[in-house]
């Protein structure tokens, strides 16, 4: 993803892009203030380092004064950066296969089953 698209993505999520904070033109710095009852106003900083020769990888550094907020902000930004739009697929008429039952012991170790149970 080009840096200008990344900057636009951050702006749509109310993260202020701060040009000039990082001397490397291939990097991007963004900031925001997070408000909550427990942390009050908390400064959040995000730095994205890219390699112009290989746009498939980047390094992201997230910093706040609260470890939980840092983790959640990192996960949120990561989800936004790796979200790839799915093209609509043509509907095909294939017979539905019945779901295979799983044993309760296997369901406890299956991450998909655990996540499905949370919904």
User: Domains of the chain (ranges plus CATH)?
Assistant: 3-82 (3.30.310.10)
Question: What integer is the mean pLDDT of 15-35?
Answer: 89
| Beta-bridge partner residues of 62 | 46
- Average model confidence (pLDDT) for the chain? 76
Q: What is the pLDDT of residue 62?
A: 92
Q: Would the pLDDT of 84 be above 70?
A: no
In a 10 Å sphere around its CB, with 0-12 CB exposed, 13-18 middle and 19+ buried, how is residue 50 labelled?
Answer: buried
Q: What is the pLDDT of residue 119?
A: 47
Q: How far is CA 102 from CA 75, 96, 119, in A?
A: 30, 18, 18
Indicate the angle between helix axes 3-12 and 67-82, nearest 10 degrees: 120
**Higher pLDDT pick, 29 / 40:** 29
| Contact present, 44 and 33 (Cβ < 8 Å) | yes
């Amino acid at each position: 993803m080009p840096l200008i698209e990344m900057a636009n993505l951050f702006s749509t999520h109310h993260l202020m892009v701060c040009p000039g904070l990082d001397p490397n033109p291939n990097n991007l710095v963004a900031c925001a203030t997070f408000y909550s009852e427990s942390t009050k106003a908390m400064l959040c900083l995000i730095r994205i380092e890219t390699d112009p020769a290989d746009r498939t990888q980047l390094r992201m550094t997230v910093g706040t004064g609260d470890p939980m907020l840092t983790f959640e902000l990192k996960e949120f930004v990561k989800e936004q950066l790796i979200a790839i739009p799915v093209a609509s697929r043509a509907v095909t008429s294939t017979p539905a296969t019945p779901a295979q039952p799983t044993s309760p012991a296997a369901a406890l170790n299956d991450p998909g089953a655990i996540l499905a149970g949370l919904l």
